[in-house]
Structure 1
């Protein structure tokens, strides 16, 4: 929330997970945040050009905006410590991109988070049973990432992202 001059209260700002890894991370994030990530020079998914962390057995963290492993490790550790201890205070989101399929939507639906939202390309999935799904009109096969998605959601008549993550309610995660 740089525009509000608030600290990032999630280790997942400025990075991304492939959809399979994202679901696995969310399903066991407390355990996976217990230690710093390891780093690998090569991604099992074929990505390169930025630090690639690994947590658990093989969950890859794509540190897209970190210049080096030291910076990525430091930010991950500092921001992980800011998460609230109470899971009811977490705000969790997932995006329809980076390998996201209907099975990921079903897995996300099964996660026990009170405050969750899935940003999905309009019409790509059946969301009738997903009150936490926010459909986005966008070109291409998936929703935009980062700042572009944030700007687009601010213009939606049915979802106010700033209201959803009010600092008085907790902090955002993923």
Structure 2
């Protein structure tokens, strides 16, 4: 009996997730958007919606100091050649590299990108070059994962001041004095897991429609029903 109940709950969860995904897809008016993210969160948006990656920031990680540096001069950095290094400027990353290999890219020899899911520099380079060409600079969304990877309140405040009309910073702490932050209960550092968690606190479709990330009363009701 217990197994039957658990099986029913699992099927119900899967059905609700599929329905939620379909409704979100239908709500998004312009599906040719580019998300710039410092972790896997951005890639999960495209995967969930079944859309082609129109961003090179898929399956990657940038530590907070590098990410803020990049988005302060985003076009110049992204359009610069990607080079490679075998040694990170971050001690914890070098410790990770002792356990397993992953390519480390550099933009302008200054911003460090960790390609976690690529087996070689050549593979990472090919995907990066292909996806950079798809960037829609006219429909850009900037997402920052705060409270991890050497992020501190000063960097979150710098992010908040940047002149991007559509930006969010997901945090595990409340920063009520900052406009771009979204406090996420049960915050985790894994970007893919964080995607599922954050959608309970943040209206992704509304954000991509440039309507803000706050759920409307109607949308909150729909979320409860499904």
For Structure 1 versus Structure 2, the TM-score category normalised by the shorter chain is: 0.7 to 0.9
**Which is strand-richer, 1 or 2?**
1
* Residue equivalent to 1:45: 90
Which residue number corresponds to residue 81 of structure 2?
36
Structure 1: runs of 5 or more not aligned? 170-174
Q: Which runs of 5+ in 2 are unaligned?
A: 1-45, 211-226
Deviations 1:88-128 (A, max 9, x none): x21001012101101111110121111000000034xxx22
Aligned counterparts of 1:63 and 1:91: Cα–Cα separation in 2:
21
Which of 48, 59, 65 aligns to 1:14? It is: 59
State whether residues 91 and 115 of structure 1, in contact with CA within 8 Å, keep that contact through their aligned partners in structure 2. yes
Count of aligned positions: 157
Partner of 1:101: 152
Instruction: Confirm or deny that 1:131 pairs with 2:179.
Output: yes
TM-score (norm 1): 0.83
CA distance in 2, matches of 1:36, 1:13: 18
In structure 2, C-alpha distance between the alignment counterparts of 1:4 and 1:85, rounded to whole Å: 20
Alignment of structure 1 residues 91-170 onto 2, 5 Å = 91-96=141-146, 97-123=148-174, 127-138=175-186, 143-156=188-201, 159-165=202-208
Deviation, 1:81, is: 1.4
Instruction: Kindly indicate whether structure 1 or structure 2 has the higher relative contact order, using CA contacts under 8 Å at least 6 residues apart.
Output: 1
Q: Deviations over 1:59-109 (max 9, x none)?
A: 1101111111111111111111111233xx210010121011011111101
State how 1:57-68 maps to structure 2 within 5 Å.
57-68=109-120
CA contact (8 A) 1:118 1:134 kept: yes
Q: Is the 8 A contact 2:81 2:108 kept in 1?
A: no
Which protein is bigger by CA-based radius of gyration? 2
Divergent runs of 4+, >6 A: none
Q: Using structure 2 for the length normalisation, give the TM-score.
A: 0.65
